[in-house]
Structure formats: structure tokens, C-alpha cells
Copies of this chain bind each other. A is one copy, B any other.
Amino acid sequence: MRADLLDAVFSEGRSVDDIGKLMASSNSKDSDPVLFTRLSEDVFDGILFEERSSFYYDRIARTACNKLWPSRDPELSVAVISAGLCDAFVAQEASITLKFLGFSNKVYSDCGVDDFSKFNLVPRILDNYKVVIVVAGLDAALATLVGSVSEKPVICVPTSVGYGVSRHGESALASMLLSCAPGLAVVNIDNGYGAACMAARILNLLDGRKED
């Protein structure tokens, strides 16, 4: 896995020049795949076209990558469940990172707890996936619900969505760490990338190519 991920670049706070040069150095056909995360639209648009020409930018996830790692066994699939549409940017970052790493996945958005009828579908959905990533802000009650209805490994990503005592995601983080559903694991606020990497570490265990 370390080898796979060597070329992920945390881009926040870095200059257009800086990122541009890195991209230019990965433009050739035999460059390894590289993923830029937390790359603002302004910075990406500011880079010279010839430097960034081989990169695809996702405006929701704020990521850019030049190519994907080879696809893995489609059975090794991940469900990314998000509570509300405001959390989409984090769910998308998780989804894109998984794709980048070769893993199939599907995003289910707007699965908030406030509408019970919608939630009742969740357990049935989860049977089709090996790992579940839950993305939620505010009180993050979705994490507890998913953890209660599924035996699968659940990776929780608190989001900075909300105001007042949401404290930029600190309250959702605490809720997830305190969930009464046992065995939920948590990553940093808004860190869809990290959740995807944890999922990849788990899925690698299941992959024949790896075990051999």
C-alpha cells in the first residue's frame, strides 16, 4: 500500500508554480499515477495548460489525477454513505481516491437519519459491499445507525459542515468516536482520502494477488 500511495500530494497552501512543476513532471506516458488532494479550483486553473494537460480535476472533490492504478477485483467494493448533500465534497474525495487506487465503490448521498423511511433501505444495501465509509457532519447519528445494522468494517469521516456548536466538525468527530455501536473507526475531519486509504488497507487483505 505504501508503494501505491507514494504519489498522493496534499496540495493545500502550496503555490501554483509548485503544483504546476509537480504535474509537469508526471505528464509523460510512463509516469506513475499521481493524486493531488485538497487542490483548490483557483490553483488548478492557474497552472499552465501544458503543465496540467494530462490531469483531470474533480471540482467537487477538489482532486486531480493523471491516471488510475489498475482495477482490482470488483468484489472488493466499498459503499460510501453520506448524510446530506452538503457532505458531498468529502464523499466524493473518498470515492475518487478509491477509484484512483483501483477499487470499485458507490456513493449513496442524503441518507440522513431524520427520515426513517429512507434509512430503512440502508441495511439491505450494505450487504453488497465489503467495507462501509460513513460521511456525516452535525451530530453524525448516521454513523451509529450504520454501525448498528451492519457487521462490516465501518470507517467514519466527520465533516466540517454545520454552524454553532458543530465547531468545524469537532462535534461530529467526537460523536463518531463515542458511538455506542462498537468497533467504528474514525479519520480526521473532512478526510475522505484517509478513509479510502484505510479501506484499501483492509481490502488488500482480501486480495489474492496480495496474499500470494
Contact = CB atoms under 8 A, between A and B. Distances in A.
Interface of A: 1-2, 5-6, 8, 10, 12-14, 18, 38, 83-86, 112-116, 130-131, 138-141, 143-145, 148-149, 151-155, 158, 160-191, 193-194, 196-202, 204-206
A108 B198 CA distance: 23
Contact of A201 (B8, B116, B153, B177): B153
Contacts of A114: 2, 144, 148, 180-182
A129 B164 CA distance: 28
A188 B163 CA distance: 8
B161 A167 contact: no
Contact of A155 (B144, B185, B204): B185
A6 B180 CA distance: 11
For the complex formed by this chain, how many copies does it contain in all?
A: 8
Contacts of A149: 116
Contacts of A155: 185
A77 to B, nearest CB: 12
A28 B80 CA distance: 34
B198 A185 contact: yes
Nearest to A18: B85
A153 B90 CA distance: 21
Contacts of A5: 182-183
A155 B201 CA distance: 11
Given A141-B141, A144-B141, A178-B171, A183 B160 contact: no
A103 to B, nearest CB: 12
Given A10-B86, A184-B194, A178 B152 contact: no
Contacts of A148: 2, 113-116
A130 B163 contact: no
